[in-house]
Amino acid sequence: MSSACWSCSELVGEGVLCSHCYKLQPVVKKSAFLMLNLPMTFDLDMGLLEQNYFKAQRMVHPDRFATSDKTQKLYSAQHSAAINEAYLKLKDPIKRTAEILKVEGYIQPNIELQTLDDPELLMEVIELREELLEVQTEEQSQKLKNKIDTLFDGNIHALSTAFSSKNLDQASKLLNRLRYLSKIRFEANQRKAA
Amino acid sequence: MRALLQISEPGQLDRKATVSSGAIGIDLGTTHSLVAVVENGKPLVLSDEKGEQLLPSVVCYLDGAVRVGNHGGSMVRSVKRLMGKNVGDADRLNESQFHAIDKTASDQVIRLNVGTKSVTPMEVSAEILKTLKIRAEKHLGQQVSQAVITVPAYFDEAARNATRDAAKIAGLEVLRLLNEPTAAALAYGLDSGEEGVYVIYDLGGGTFDVSILRLEKGVFQVLATGGDTELGGDDFDRLILDNYLSNVDDSIHERIKLARELKQKLSFEEAVLTPSGHLLNRDDFNLLIESLVQKTLNICQDVIKQAGLSLPEIKGIVLVGGSTRIPYIRKRLESVLGQTPLQTIDPDLAVAHGAALQAHALTQGSDTLLLDVTPLSLGIETMGGIVEKIIHNNTPIPVSKSQEFTTYQDGQTAMSFHVVQGERELVKDCRSLCRFELRGIPPKVAGAARIAVTFTIDADGLLTVSAKELTTGVHQTVHVKPSYGLSEEELTAMIVAGYENAQSDMNERLLQQAIVDGNRLLNAVESALEQDKALLSQEEYDEMRLFLVDLRENIALKHINAIKQSCDRLEVSTQTFAERRMNKAIKTALTGQSIDTVL
């Protein structure tokens, strides 16, 4: 898709800079994967994610446009913020899963914690919560945290399998479980701090 | 200066262009401030005429004149502690013990009594900035209008705004507000070329910061930051003051100075004698500061945890700030973090170095990438005085985030928002930044309107909030300015006043500029005479020499108008000379070339 450069009116392509006058163009909405030039996969190469994140920021960061005109300064901040957002999305397995499902058109964007309609998950969550309440010693706390970590990692693995077999229903279900596990993990960590 | 341009050798660059862009780096500290520039690719901290690099952050008001440094009169020190604070904060922090706070001022902006007038902390800070600006202008021989100014990483929105306002009053455009530990890391990383994860422990005169940074191939990525903007070396001085110097019969300024001297001595000696003959040894002092030091260590551990790191993953600890010279702090850090802090950088200069490097990078371009985070969470007050966080602390900046809210009453047409900053869950425990109201919402049943509130933090860490009703597009944007900050009108008035007071500064600057221009002309004419004396008659040559002597004398006398006159005379007298040189140059260029290649 091409549009006219805001500065020189020439047609600009996909790039963030106009190919004629090299001025920074406004942000075009893209998926987080496209934004950072990465293949859409759950099993993301984290090293590559960092590398591409830095590469993208290098081009558009406000430090590069500190002495530019107002328009480019504004676009630079917007690009940089969009890249930061994409980076955070892809770094976190929960947000990454949600992003893939969104691009696949599977669930509505901005969907928050879904209701617990999965009886199996409901039981699991209730049991974990009870265990959390019963924790008294440091040893018990560590043991429970290890257990949650193991469940969390197992869920990540299952998500990877679900995506590679293109089972989006399963992925969505696992995403839901991951959200609950993440919430309980956070609470378990908080408890220790208190 | 047409003649000069004609007389210079082709390819000989203007001195201005080769020296620097005139963008400076400023470390605006609680007890000391510094200014640095980059020359030949290296940061250089500038000294005053006595060779001092550290400018005491003390502003003295005496007989209508303002001087920065320890000059007596009505003195304001450690004004950084009041930046972005309101009258209530000053009371809470017991600052009136150390500052002549104007109790009659009715508004929320703190005012300090200095002699016969009262000034805001921003105006006091501006005096320090102006002094540093002039120091840089003298060194560079040119006007300076742009600066990178460092702020504690843990400075909140109000304090950042106050710093930017101070710069405006001083006539400086802030290229970037740079976090102090990030600046230090930049100086350290570019110097050592090291890679890995580093803890920057920055304990200055009035503030404490800790940042975790990853350094990697020209990238400086802040992973997490924490701190306390009300904890620093000043607090150690105050403890000595309260415990050992309360009986000393002297002014508060003298007693603070004394306390600081005792503290500094204790970094090198095992014990010191107080004026009342009391022996204060290191152990006593360590005991005094123990709980404050523990506070910094707790923050360190917490920030490392927030960055998702464990101790073995940390490659080094970099110490910044004068207070890190205290042996006890080094010892405690070593035992808690399990490694000896690095001592490769000067804790007083590192921040200024980083600021200068960043100023250079922003104006001249650079391959280095600095990725910082926002230190404090930002949110909106919701029902029951609970904070709905919109941007969490340690989020990379710049950042823009939206959240949708809805009406809670049928037919509601306006909605008010209260923006707060802080980590706590309740509004009353967070810092209130501003309130605003979105009007013109179409009346609907409760919960039907959709209002998107967008928080945007720029690369300086400054916030803009906008609210938009999504079904109608009613829109409002607020540049967050804390209610106890300066209004635009006040700020403008101060900037104007600054110009008036700066008349003498301006004269000084114009003189420096004239001297630089004069010297440049002198050099250009002399080198031209050396090469092409043959083009002149003896009479013309003598006249030119006479004007040269005249100009040199006037430069030595520092008489601005005389320098300018001498320059003008010399330029006029060299015009013919310049033309002849040009002709000669063209002839030389044409000699031996065929007509085809020339045309």
Q: How confident is the model at residue B18 (pLDDT cuts 50, 70, 90)?
A: very low
pLDDT for residue B148: 97
* Nearest-by-Cβ selection for A81 from B363, B365, B400: B400
pLDDT of residue B327: 93
pLDDT at B277 over 60: yes
- Does B362 sit within 8 Å of A88, measured CB to CB? no
Average pLDDT, chain B: 85
Q: What percent of chain B has pLDDT over 70?
A: 89
Partner residues linked to A11 by β-bridges: A4
The residue whose two tokens read 């000696």 is B269
Q: State yes or no: cis peptide before B43, omega within 30 of 0.
A: no
Q: Compare all CA atoms of chain B with the CA of A67 and give the residue at the minimum distance.
A: B363
Identify which of A67, A80, A87 has the shortest CB distance to residue B398: A80
* CB proximity list for A18: less than 8 A, separation 6 or greater: A5, A7, A8, A10, A12, A25
Backbone angles phi, psi at B167, to 5 degrees: -65, -40
pLDDT at B430 (0 to 100) = 85
The answer to whether the Cβ–Cβ distance between A57 and B371 falls below 8 Å is: yes
pLDDT band at B9 (very low <50, low <70, confident <90, very high): very low
What one-letter code names the amino acid at B114?
V
In this complex, which of A57, A63, A85 lies closest to B362 when CB atoms are compared? A63
For B146, the closest chain A residue by CA position comes to A67
Q: Which two tokens stand for residue A77?
A: 């901040």
Q: Which residue has the higher pLDDT, B399 or B570?
A: B399
Two tokens, residue B146: 């742009």
**Coil, strand or helix at B48:** coil
- Whether the pLDDT of residue B359 is over 80: the answer is yes
For residue B497, pLDDT over 70 is answered with: no
pLDDT at B290 over 60: yes
Q: What is the pLDDT of residue B170?
A: 92
Confidence label for B17 from pLDDT (cuts 50, 70 and 90): very low
Taking CB atoms and an 8 Å limit, are B398 and A81 in contact across chains? yes
Cβ distance A66 to B365 less than 8 Å, yes or no, reads no
What's the pLDDT score for residue B501? 59
What pLDDT score does A3 carry?
82
Q: Does any CB of chain A come closer than 8 Å to the CB of residue B452?
A: no
Which residues numbered 173-202 in B keep a CB inside 8 Å of some CB on A? 175-176
Q: Find the CB nearest B361 among A54, A58, A63.
A: A63
Instruction: Determine the distance in angstroms separating the CA of B176 from the nearest CA of chain A, rounded to an integer.
Output: 8
DSSP letters, B358-378, are HHHHHHH--S-EEE-B-SS-E
Q: Which residues of chain A have pLDDT under 70?
A: 1-2, 107-117, 191-194
Helix then strand then coil, in percent of chain A rounded to 5, is: 65, 5, 30
Q: How far is A71 from chain B (nearest CA, A)?
A: 14
pLDDT attached to residue B274: 84
Phi-psi region of A30 (alpha: psi -120 to 50; beta: other; left: phi over 0): beta
pLDDT digits (tens, 9 = 90+) for B412-446: 888 888 998 888 888 888 888 888 888 888 888 88
> Is B369 within 8 Å of chain A by CB?
yes
CA distance B506 to chain A (A): 25
| Range from A46-55, A139-148, B18-27, B270-279 that averages highest in pLDDT | A46-55
Residue B317 banded pLDDT, cuts 50, 70, 90: very high
Q: ipTM value, please give it.
A: 0.87
**Contact assignment for A84 to B399 by CB distance below 8 Å:** yes
CB contact under 8 Å between B400 and A88, yes or no, is: no
CB contact under 8 A, A66 and B362: yes
- For the annotated catalytic residues of B, the residue numbers are 27, 80, 180, 202
Q: What are phi and psi of A10, to 5 degrees?
A: -75, 160
Distances, alpha carbon B401 to alpha carbons A35, B392, B458, B539, in Å? 17, 10, 12, 76
Q: What is the mean pLDDT of residues B216-231?
A: 91
Mean pLDDT is lowest, of A80-89, A152-161, B96-105, B537-546, for B96-105
* pLDDT 10s digits, B167-221: 999 999 999 999 999 999 999 887 778 889 999 999 998 899 999 999 988 899 9
Residue to test with chain A: of B222, B367, B397, most A Cβ within 10 A: B397
Please tell me the predicted confidence (pLDDT) of residue B90: 78
Residues of A with CB under 8 A from a CB of B: 54, 57-58, 61-64, 66-67, 77-78, 80-82, 84-85, 87-88
pLDDT band at B588 (very low <50, low <70, confident <90, very high): confident
